[in-house]
Amino acid sequence: MKNFHVKFYENRKIYFTISLAIILAGVIFNVIFGTALDIQFKGGAMINYTYSGEIDQSVVESKVEEVTGQNVDVRIYENMNQDAEAAKNSVSISFTGSQSISIDVQKQIAEALTKEYPDAGFAVSQSNSVDPTMGQSFFAKCLVAIAITFVLLIIYVGFRFRKIGGTSAGVMAIVALLHDVSIVYFVFVIFQIPINDSFIAVVLTILGYSLNNTIIIYDRVRENRRLLGPKASYSELVNTSINQTLTRSIYTTLCTFAAITSVFIVGMIFNISSVMTFALPMMVGVVAGCYSSVCLAGPLYVMWQNHKQKKRLEAGAKA
């Protein structure tokens, strides 16, 4: 296994600048494009129609808007088994607001689409509505779940690594995780993917993945503190520990990234949007998680420990 000699702490300003630049770019995109919430969170109605053959998304949108007088979001899902005689594609039409779509309106939509595509055979397969209050409540509960996860992670890291300053290690790990969550969020914003349950799933997955990388480094820091002794500086301790685990971090990230990329490619080939909107942010999140664990969490931990050490020396000098 290759031994690296990267000065992570000494190069911390470069890493911090890269992260801040990416976050700033994400904020700019967020201001320009805004944040789109799925009807699961903002409320609305969704109707799924089955059909055969090929249709155009923009044409469907215009026809539905003519019938309903509302802005709609249309997604087309093509059946993977196109050779089967009974194979049907589906189109999902989403409406915002608190009003459900009546059966008569659903029939009018089907008639308008059938008039445009006589051979498609449009038929309602599913109809759902979500009250805006319920959607907001669900979104709030998801955010609470993430917040509870952060608190539990701080407690866990603080207890497990109490011999090397567990609280500071836990807080710096959370700072790195917040960096990862921000990057994942900006992926949804930049690619204009509506924030839905996939966002919550990606965030919770990345939290576990990124924290695992960070814990591996902290575990090596704890071991090296015992081997190098109390005279070793925190920067030397962390640099050595990160370099010792760097090969493992890179290989693990590459393997995970390759697996998720394969999932994304399959989703793209068969036009499965639910798979693509999960896999794409995961791909970016895995890379961001490795970067934050290696380049951010360790240097931040050293900065905290050096600050505490300086305070202790100043207090001792005054005494």
Are 136 and 43 in contact by the 8 Å Cβ rule? The answer is yes
Mean pLDDT of 21-31: 96
Rounded percentage of the chain residues whose pLDDT exceeds 90? 37
Q: By C-alpha distance, which of 205, 241, 165, 256 is closest to 197? A: 205
Task: Domain ranges for the chain, please list them.
Answer: 12-38+134-318, 44-130
Q: How far apart are CA 270 and CA 89, in angstroms?
A: 11
CATH 1.20.1640.10 fits 12-38+134-318, yes or no: yes
- Which DSSP symbol is given to 4? P
> For residue 224, what pLDDT is reported?
92
Q: How far apart are CA 141 and CA 146, in angstroms?
A: 9
Are 235 and 283 in contact by the 8 Å Cβ rule? The answer is no
pTM for the predicted model, two decimal places: 0.81
Mean pLDDT of 236-257: 94
Residue 16: left (phi > 0), alpha (psi -120 to 50), or beta?
A: alpha
Mean pLDDT of 161-177: 87
Rounded percentage of the chain residues whose pLDDT exceeds 70? 94
Q: How far apart are CA 246 and CA 24, in angstroms?
A: 27
Mean pLDDT of 105-110: 84
> For residue 87, what pLDDT is reported?
57
With H, G, I as helix, E, B as strand and everything else as coil, classify residue 83: coil
Size of the chain in residues: 319
Mean pLDDT of 19-47: 88
Q: How far apart are CA 4 and CA 9, in angstroms?
A: 14
Q: What is the dihedral of CA 179, 182, 186, 188, to 10 degrees?
A: 120
Residue found by looking up tokens 């008039």 in the block = 115
Kindly report the CATH class assigned to 44-130: alpha beta
Query: Would you place residue 2 in the very low, low, confident or very high pLDDT band (cuts 50, 70, 90)?
Result: low
At 93, which amino acid appears?
I
Q: By C-alpha distance, which of 11, 9, 1 is closest to 239? A: 9
Q: Which helix (H) or strand (E) holds 277?
A: helix 273-291
> For residue 84, what pLDDT is reported?
47
Strands (E), the chain: 44-51, 72-77, 89-96, 123-130
Q: What is the mean pLDDT of the chain?
A: 86
Mean pLDDT of 223-228: 90
